[in-house]
Amino acid sequence: MDYPNDQAPGAPVRAGIPEHGRVPKYYAVKTRIAALLDDLGEGGLLPTERDLSERYEVARETVRQALRELLLEGRVRRAGRGTVVAGPKLAQPLALASYTEGVRRQGLRPGRTLIGLDRFPCPRELADEAGLERGEPVWHLERVLLADDERVGLESTYVAVARAPRLDTDFDPDSSFYVYLRDRLGIGFGDADERLETVLATPREALLIGTPPALPMLLIHRISRDTEGRPLERVRSLYRGDRFSFTTHLGRRAGADEREPEG
C-alpha cells in the first residue's frame, strides 16, 4: 500500500504541519537538517551552526532551536565541540527481564557504575508501597546504567536485607541483580507492577547520567514479587529519552470481551 509522505506508518501526522499551513521557520529548518542526517549516516559530523545558518539563510538562533529539538529526539548527539548523527534508540522490552538481557539482545555491551550501596531502616512510605515491614533493614543500591560505555540511565533498587543479607560482599555491582538473586540466592521472579512516566532529571541525576537537565527522561517504577508472591524489590529506573524507547506485546486476556476495540 502506498502512503502519502506525511502519513507513512510511524511518521507524525501531516509531518507536524498545522492545519492552517503556516510552518514555523525553525521547524522548516529542522526538516531540512533531518534530511541531511539521512545523507550523512550514523556518526556523520554536521556542519557548524554558522554554516547551516548560511546554507538555509536563517538566523543562527533558528538553527540552534532546530538542533535542540533534534537533540531531544535523539536524532543527533554532541561529540566534543561538534554535533554528529546519532544511532537508533535502544528498544527495551517492558517485561520481567533484566537491563543486561535487553541491551545484549541489541548487540551492545551492558555495564553499570556503582554510585552507592547503603543500608537503613525501611521508611513508612517504602514499606507501604513495596509491602515491606516498617523499620526492617533494607538495602539501597544505586547504579549508573551503561551501553557500550555510554551512560544511558540511573537505577535505584531497594530490597530487604533479609532477602539478600550479603549483598555488600557477594554481589558484583557491574553485574545483573536479577542473575544474582536467581543463581546465588535461588530467588525467582514471579510478577511485577510497573508504572512509566516522563520526567525531567534533577540536577544530581543529570550530572550522574551526563545529560543537560532539560533532557526528557523515561521513568519506570517497578514493584516485584517472587514466585510465591512475596515482596522482593522496589526499583526506580531513569532512562534517557533520547536514547531509549520501550516495547511490549499486547494480547487478549482469556475471557475478555470479544468485541473489536473502538477507534
CA 191 to chain centre: 21
Give the separation between CA 137 and CA 130, rounded to whole angstroms.
13
| Residue range 132-148, pLDDT digits in tens | 999 999 999 999 999 88
In angstroms, the Cα distances linking 106 to 100, 211, 235 are 10, 23, 23
Instruction: Kindly report the CATH class assigned to 90-247.
Output: alpha beta
> Which pLDDT score, from 0 to 100, does residue 259 have?
52
CA dist 61 and 53 (Å) reads: 9
**Do 237 and 155 touch, CB atoms closer than 8 A?**
yes
Domain limits, the chain: 5-85, 90-247
Q: How confident is the model at residue 28 (pLDDT cuts 50, 70, 90)?
A: confident
Q: What is the mean pLDDT of residues 191-205?
A: 89
Q: What is the rounded average pLDDT for all residues in the chain?
A: 83
* Amino acid, single-letter form, for residue 196: L
Interval 79-134: pLDDT, tens: 777 888 887 777 666 665 667 777 777 778 889 999 999 999 999 999 998 889 99
Phi and psi torsions of 45, nearest 5°: -85, 125
CA 33 to chain centre: 25
Q: For the domain with range 5-85, which CATH number is right: 2.40.30.170, 1.10.10.10, 1.20.1250.20, 1.20.1510.10? A: 1.10.10.10
Residue keyed to cell 501526522:
13
* C-beta atoms surrounding 84 within 10 Å: 17
Between CA 170 and CA 187 the distance in angstroms is: 15
Is residue 216 pLDDT above 70, yes or no? yes
Q: Are 182 and 188 in contact (CB under 8 A)?
A: yes
Model pTM score: 0.70
Out of 194-198, 226-230, 245-249, pick the least confident: 245-249
- Range with lowest mean pLDDT among 13-27, 169-183, 186-200, 203-217: 13-27
Say how far apart CA 156 and CA 234 lie, in whole Å: 8
Residues 246 and 112: their CA atoms lie apart, in Å, by: 20
